[in-house]
Amino acid sequence: MKPAALAALMLAACAAMRAEPPQRLRLSLREAVEMAAAPGGAARLELAREAARAAEARKRQALAPLLPNVDGSYTFRSFTNNLASFGIQFPAVPGIAFPVFVGPIDVQDTRAAASQSVFDLAAIRRWQAAQAQARAAAAESEEALLKTRAAVATAYLNAVRAEAALEAARANVALAERILKLAESQKAAGTGTGIEVTRAAAVLEQERQKMISAGEDRAAARLGLLRAMNADLGAELELTDRMLYAPAEIPAPERALEAARELRPELRAQAERERAARLTAAAAKWERLPSARAFGDYGVIGRTGSVYLPTRSAGVQVTVPLWDGGRRDARRAEARSLERAEEIRSRDMARQVEMEVRLALEALQSAEGQVAAARAVFAQAERELEQAERRVAAGVATPLEVTEAQARVARAREAVVAAVFRQKAARIELGAAAGNLDLMLD
């Protein structure tokens, strides 16, 4: 090896030795959900929080026209002028020449000005609409939190399912190896055939292939969980929960619907959006009313180097809208249309939430039945395998019967894992549909 290549290899080895070991995360389902919901967690939730902060800033902007406005100014002006252009003429006086051109004159003006809205109903309605929009954004942030927690919980369950599927695949491989040894021993004893050994070996290779695929699915599921949590994708995960079946309490549809109408944050957000649209329409309507504003200023003014004298002004300005080319009418029509659109969205969202709750209840009921059926089939398949092995040992059956029973046990074991995952995922879906995920995380 060339010295340069050897030096580069040694540098790379040293860098690898200095590299920090990958982060190790030991997580339960609830811990994974809380980690995603924490500040700096899931990106979707962080974006929703930023949207809520922006809505709060817009609310303060809408309030500004109703609060006092104070400005300070300093003006320095140097000018010259032609008095004759203003029509100023001096009488002719013998021996005295009056100038027509004056300047340059330097003037300084330091002043503070203030104004205050006295009456502007349209501005008040716009501020109230901004308040409703801020509340809607806060509810949308809660919606993002609920959906993020549900997505992370589902991703965690998927990772646990992949772990259980890999364990099931390993158990199937171990069973296939045992059946292959049985076929080989039967052939050595003269009670079996070569085709039975070949068939058992083929089944073993198929199960090994499925085990490799299950390992790939496990790695993909873990990466999906880390991505959902917005965690380091190079971290090593240790999942403390297992794919164990626990019967779920299925609430009555009326109770679940009542909870959803009270707890679902998107319903509250839509109600606030509808209220904001109604207030915006009212603001467009009240733009026809007169508005009043008080104003005043105080400062000192004078020529540079001379005496500065205080001056002031104060007054009230009343603005009466007369005609603006139809812009106000157009804004009013647009605001009324947006209000009707939000009312349609509110009705549609209420129906959507009801459908989600009913579908989640049906899915959970179906999943409970599938788990019971899958566990019964698995128990039956294990008994069939035991009986087939005893029949072969007694010489009244061929190893083919054991191989077929083994295949049924393997499929039944996989079906149990899939059914338990569907039941747990259905619980999460029901919790998200009802707006209360905490009851479904244990």
pLDDT of amino acid 402? 79
**Distance (Å, rounded) from C-alpha 350 to C-alpha 341?**
14
Tell me the whole-structure pTM to 2 decimals.
Answer: 0.77
pLDDT of amino acid 17? 42
**Distance (Å, rounded) from C-alpha 45 to C-alpha 150?**
12
DSSP β-bridge partners for residue 114: 70, 296
Q: For residue 289, give the 3-state DSSP assignment.
A: coil
Name the region of 87 (left: φ>0; alpha: ψ -120 to 50; beta: rest): left
DSSP β-bridge partners for residue 107: 77, 303
* CATH label, 22-78+106-320+332-440, candidates 1.20.1600.10, 2.40.160.20, 3.40.640.10, 1.10.3720.10: 1.20.1600.10
User: How is the chain split into domains, by residue range?
Assistant: 22-78+106-320+332-440
pLDDT of amino acid 243? 84
Q: Which of 196, 214, 273, 70 is nearest to 222 (CA)?
A: 214
pLDDT of amino acid 20? 57
Q: Residue-wise pLDDT tens for the chain (442 aa)?
A: 444 544 444 444 444 444 456 678 888 888 888 888 888 778 888 899 999 999 999 999 999 999 999 999 999 999 898 888 877 777 777 777 777 888 888 999 999 999 999 999 999 999 999 999 999 999 999 999 999 999 999 999 999 999 989 998 998 898 889 888 888 887 887 777 788 888 889 989 999 999 999 999 999 999 999 998 888 888 888 888 888 888 888 889 999 999 999 999 999 999 999 999 999 999 998 988 899 999 999 999 988 878 889 999 999 999 998 888 888 889 899 999 999 999 999 999 999 999 999 999 999 999 999 999 999 999 999 999 888 888 877 777 777 787 788 888 889 988 999 999 999 999 999 999 998 887 676 6
Q: What is the DSSP string of 360-380?
A: HHHHHHHHHHHHHHHHHHHHH
Sign of CA dihedral 116, 120, 123, 127: positive
Name the pairing type of β-strands 309-319 and 236-239. Answer: unpaired
pLDDT of amino acid 102? 83
Q: Which residue has the tokens 């790379």?
A: 12
